Amino acid sequence: MMRRRTFFGLAAGAVALAGIPRAATALDYPDRPVRMVVGYPAGITPDIVTRIVAQSLSQRFGQQFVVDNRPGASSNIATEIVAHAPPDGYTLLTLTATNVINTTLFEKLNFDLIRDIAPVAGLIRSPNVVVVNPAVPARTLPEFIAYAKANPGKINYASAGSGSATNVAGELFKTMAGVDLMHVPYRANYLPDLLSGQVQAAFSPVAQVIEFIKSGKLRALAVTGANRINTLPGIPPAAEFVPGYEAYVWDAIGTPVHTPSDIINRLHQEIDGALAEPALQSRFAELGAEPMPMTPADLGKFMVAETDKWAKVIKSANIKPE
């Protein structure tokens, strides 16, 4: 009788174990394609970066990492999809600076970024570049600041929309440099109006304007990171003239909270390996970006710090979503 009970006990345990998803213990992870959800259309920097990393991860894991573009609602649609996905490591989210901005910008969201998304790994970071139409009589950032102070409210700067990374970078600059610039938000591409002089300035992603800078159609005054970048070696950091000013756009990877830690650690390890590949570093450099390797714990702290930083700007400038 004892053996019979033992047998049935073991059999019941085996059935219970069989019912546990294999991913829950990271056995043979991944054994099917992994979806990487991006809250932007194809061709936008987060999409490009994700595709570069997905290709490397597909090779490293021997399983397809598939990019799923879900643009809309300032990337909130994509974030909600991942926040409510099964925590099994098969749905990843490309996080950007916009995600932490949205935490303060939107009063009601169907998710809590810090609570519902587990950080996995950093990908890249890139400064914006302060650019002006050549008609602006300023060839350096100090000259631009002096011109803006002499002409308060007469310089318009374009952004990708209220609450976008390009908007909050501009508002932080206004406060720290003590200048009065008029914000002009765009839902579509602002470059045609910037090139024609309808708006005079922008705090733009490097990849978006690098060719126009090289051709002389736009003038670069400063990058918004702490250091010079290889793509624009002759352009100084804004912080040389506005001490403490820093504004990066960045990409990282997250996954639904409660995803097993061994899966998160495996993903982090392979992503860090991908970021160390010279071929990837070269492609990121073309975008004006640099690898941003981070442990899950460090990425979590970074996201909290970024949330706090941009919350102050949003509240001070009274930025509202469109």
pLDDT digits (tens, 9 = 90+) for 222-273: 999 999 998 899 999 999 999 999 999 999 999 999 999 999 999 999 999 9
The average pLDDT across 73-99 equals 96
This prediction's pTM = 0.86
Compute and round to an integer the Cα radius of gyration of the chain.
23
pLDDT, mean over the chain: 91
pLDDT at position 187: 84
**Tokens 């756009």 -> residue:** 249
What is d(CA 295, CA 75) in angstroms, rounded to the nearest whole number?
Answer: 24
Predicted confidence band at 11 (pLDDT cuts at 50, 70, 90)? very low
According to DSSP, residue 136 is labeled S
- Cα separation, 194 vs 149, whole angstroms: 21
Residue 303 tokens, joined = 């996201």
Contact indicator for 122, 296 with CB cutoff of 8 Å: no
Residue spans of beta strands (DSSP E) within the chain: 34-38, 65-69, 91-96, 117-132, 156-159, 182-185, 201-205, 219-223, 248-256, 290-291
- Tens-digit pLDDT profile for residues 18-58: 444 444 456 689 999 999 999 999 988 899 999 999 999 99
Nearest to 219 by CA among 140, 157, 132, 158: 132
pLDDT, tens digit, 9 for 90 and up, residues 115-125? 999 999 999 99
- Do 12-126+250-317 and 127-240 come out as alike in CATH topology? yes
Domain 127-240, what fold? Answer: D-Maltodextrin-Binding Protein; domain 2 (3.40.190)
Average pLDDT over residues 146-151: 97
Q: What residues does each domain of the chain span?
A: 12-126+250-317, 127-240
Contact 310, 100 (CB under 8 A): yes
Residue 23: per-residue pLDDT: 40
Q: 166-215, pLDDT tens digit by residue?
A: 999 999 999 999 999 999 999 878 999 999 999 999 999 998 899 999 99
Angstrom distance (rounded) from CA 32 to CA 81: 19
pLDDT digits (tens, 9 = 90+) for 121-143: 999 999 999 999 999 999 999 99
Inter-helix orientation angle 296-317/97-105, to 10°? 50
Looking at domain 12-126+250-317, its CATH class is alpha beta
Instruction: Tell me the percentage of the chain whose pLDDT exceeds 70.
Output: 92
Question: What's the pLDDT tens digit per position in 271-292?
Answer: 999 999 999 999 999 888 999 9
Show the tokens assigned to 242: 């506005």
Tell me what percent of the residues of the chain surpass a pLDDT of 90.
Answer: 84
Q: Would you state the pLDDT for residue 25? A: 52
Name the band, by pLDDT with cuts 50, 70 and 90, for residue 149. very high
Distances (CA, A) of 91 to 65, 84, 100, 197, 256: 10, 10, 20, 43, 8
